[in-house]
Amino acid sequence: MAEVVDHYNASAPTYTEQYDETMIHTATEYPANYFRLKKIKDRINELGIKSVYELGIGDGSPITAMARMGLRVGGSDFSEGMLKVAKQQFVDNGFDPDLLTFGNLDRRDTLEAAIATGPYDAVMALGVLPHVASEDAAVKNMSNFIAPGGTLFLQFRNSMLSLYSFNRLTMEFIFDELLAPVSPEIKNTIKSELEPRLAMDKPPRREEKHEGPAYDEILAKFHNPFELQNLVIANGLSFTKFHWYNYHVSPPMLASTLGQAFREAGIELEATDDWRGMFLCSSGVIEARKN
């Protein structure tokens, strides 16, 4: 877990760029976080939510946006680097930085004081689930921030995109999830036939441009949306829907061939939220309501 903290401490100074609306067509990396935040804000307005707590505030851009909407807010993060940047965002926007505190979604003992400031109408964790030690504990800890009828927003890396990526992640998904109960003999036969047909050298491992470990060097799990749906139900919540973002209009290996058209088509699809996202999106947010 120390590597995860080191990664976010190092990336904190430039993390805000991921939410810059003026750069969605030109930023080096696809502005997925911008579209994620837009969908959450739209949903909060639709539901008439008046208060929200964020676990894993990052640089503070999402929770600052919520405060600007007039919501009662609170938030925490386990990266001191991110917390420092987020507090400065609050100061710059005229909000109380003391509303943002240290907290680890994996550890209830670090969240007790924050839970006592609730309950909130909604709780959200964006970009946190890939790094937790226990998904069950994470959902339980999130649920403590909302009363019955409250809404939970939980972001995850979507393993289902692997069925469309046609690379080593496809092989891993087939072997680790689809064929988990199948005998090694059958798996070996399938592997020998599939490997020549897949881009097994992709995706390349990401290298960080700042000090600290790169994202691919830290705990950063994918999650199956169907299993995640079962998890929230098992923890006393009712599944509402999935919100999909970061669309891939082609297998990622063709992105460079398509060039800017790949990004523009993805941006156009971000306005949708139907079943295609299950297979075309690298990320999603599960929305659930506490019973």
Per-residue pLDDT of 41-93, as tens digits, reads 999 999 999 999 999 999 999 999 999 999 999 999 999 989 999 999 999 99
Give me 86's structure tokens.
């987020």
pLDDT band (50, 70, 90) for residue 2: very low
Mean pLDDT of 20-32: 87
Q: pLDDT value at position 22? A: 87
pLDDT, greater one: 106 or 19: 106
pTM of the model: 0.90
Residue given tokens 């999603």 in the structure block: 284
Burial of 158-196, coded b for 16+ CB within 10 Å and e otherwise, reads bbbbbebbbbbbbbebbeebeeeeeeeeeeeebeeeeee
pLDDT, greater one: 264 or 13: 264
Nearest CA-CA partner of 13 in 92, 86, 72, 116: 86
pLDDT band (50, 70, 90) for residue 141: very high
Sorted by sequence, the CB contacts under 8 Å of residue 139 that are 6+ apart come out as 152, 154, 231, 232, 235, 237
Residue 206, pLDDT above cutoff 60: no
How many angstroms from the chain centroid is the CA of residue 130?
Answer: 7
How many angstroms from the chain centroid is the CA of residue 221?
Answer: 10
Give me 281's structure tokens.
């999106």
Q: pLDDT value at position 160? A: 96
pLDDT band (50, 70, 90) for residue 13: low
Strand order in the sheet with 72-77: 100-102, 72-77, 51-55, 120-125, 146-157, 281-290, 237-247
What are the φ/ψ torsions at residue 285 (nearest 5 degrees)? -125, 125
Q: pLDDT value at position 23? A: 86
Residue 212, pLDDT above cutoff 80: no
Q: pLDDT value at position 111? A: 97
DSSP state of 206: P
Give me 69's structure tokens.
């909407």
User: Helix H segments across the chain?
Assistant: 2-11, 32-47, 61-68, 80-92, 112-115, 135-143, 162-165, 168-173, 184-194, 225-234, 255-258, 260-269, 277-280
Mean pLDDT of 215-222: 71
pLDDT-above-90 percentage for the chain = 79
DSSP state of 167: B
Q: pLDDT value at position 218? A: 58
Residue given tokens 């599944």 in the structure block: 239
Record: fold of 2-159+211-290: Rossmann fold (3.40.50)
Residue 142, pLDDT above cutoff 70: yes
Q: Are 154 and 284 in contact (CB under 8 A)?
A: no
